[in-house]
Amino acid sequence: MMSENNKNKSVVVVGGGIMGLGTAFHLSERGYRVTLLEKQKDVAKVASYINGAMICPSMTASWASLSLLSKNKGELRRIQLSRDVVTDHKFWRWGLWFTYNCLWPGKVQQNDAAQQQLGLYSMKCLQNLEEVYGETLSHNKTASNTLRLYYTEEDLKKFFKSSQAKFWEKNGHPFVKLSPEEIKDMLPSLDQQNLETYHPSGRNLVGGVINKPAIDSSGDIHEFCQNLKKLCLKNDVTIKTDTGVKEILTEGYGKNRVISGVLCQNGKIETGDIYVLAAGIMVNPLGRTIGVNLPIYPLKGNVVTVPLKVNYNVISAMGSYVRVWGICQFIRNLWSLTSTVLIMDH
């Protein structure tokens, strides 16, 4: 809702990914004059260019948890460290902070609760955008729920006792147990033999869970961001691409120190009444220019998008493509990298 009090206030948003675009759009809806600065030649060209295509608020949880890590050892084995990472003091500082959040009493529960509340809020925001703007903010939504398979009764019972299951039941989206027969009916493209041998250790399927009503889905983040960009321009948001930020400028001392502008790599200075730092992995190096050190370290994901030229049994395809996740890598110099996209043909 536009406010008359905001009309004369200007905002500088640093970063043109989904966070920067979303912030710019919502602020412009409230009447602020917004300028968005993006380092690349277009918005949504780095982390917001391609991702796993899943929107899963029901799965939100903090990875800084020994319990969660012990149950997902395969995920840990797929994470690689580049040689220069092990000699980077910033990586070890981040590692100590991660370990602290794993071990300090109550931190895991606190972080999980924060993630769940964020997932719920984000879900409501997206639903509201879809209701108001419809196809104007389309993002190739194909999936309608998330099905989780369980291969031991113990794991299935533990899940229903988890804070995750209790949280979504409290907020009107309880998890419902499915039998192997119900799962087979839901996914006719997978026969019973495939379901029972899906687990790497060869365990038999005992059941699964889904949310009712559903809250998870899928989507193309780049398509969403490009449509969000159009709405921003319609709201008179000024978007400056090829405009990387080199430094955050300040004036004054001590408690009187304030941000006076941002120095761009082209030598120009952008000023505003309010500054929003939404630059992804660049938040840390930019934050350090004003003495703010955040516990963030870059992790590079590897994704391949494959066209479907024959009639495969695919549970959730992105139109005529399917997207596959690969390994993740800690890379020291990821700050200077941009996204590359590999589209396989055959």
Model pLDDT for residues 247-296, shown as the tens digit of each residue:
999 999 988 999 999 999 999 999 999 999 999 888 988 998 898 888 88
| Nearest in space to 236 (alpha carbons), one of 42, 36, 15, 54 | 36
**In the chain, where does the domain assigned CATH 3.50.50.60 lie?**
4-135+219-290
Q: Residue 9 corresponds to which tokens in the numbers above?
A: 């206030």
Task: Give the rounded percent of residues in the chain with a pLDDT score beyond 70.
Answer: 85
Tell me how far apart the alpha carbons of residues 58 and 29 are, in angstroms, rounded to a whole number: 28
Q: Which residue has the higher pLDDT, 233 or 62?
A: 233
CA distances from 188 to 180, 192, 308, 321 (A): 12, 9, 19, 20
Q: Determine whether domain 4-135+219-290 maps to CATH 3.50.50.60.
A: yes
Q: How confident is the model at residue 339 (pLDDT cuts 50, 70, 90)?
A: very low
pLDDT digits (tens, 9 = 90+) for 127-179: 999 999 999 998 888 788 899 999 899 999 999 999 999 999 999 999 999 99
Q: What angle do CA 41, 280, 343 make, to 5 degrees?
A: 60
Within 8 A by CB and 6+ apart from 146, the residues are 54, 56, 58, 59, 210, 211, 216
CA distances from 281 to 38, 113, 114, 213 (A): 13, 24, 21, 35
pLDDT over 90 for what percent of the chain? 55
The per-residue pLDDT for 115 is: 95
Beta strands 258-264 and 245-251, pairing class: antiparallel
Whether the per-residue pLDDT at 300 is higher than 60: the answer is yes
Q: What is the mean pLDDT of the chain?
A: 86
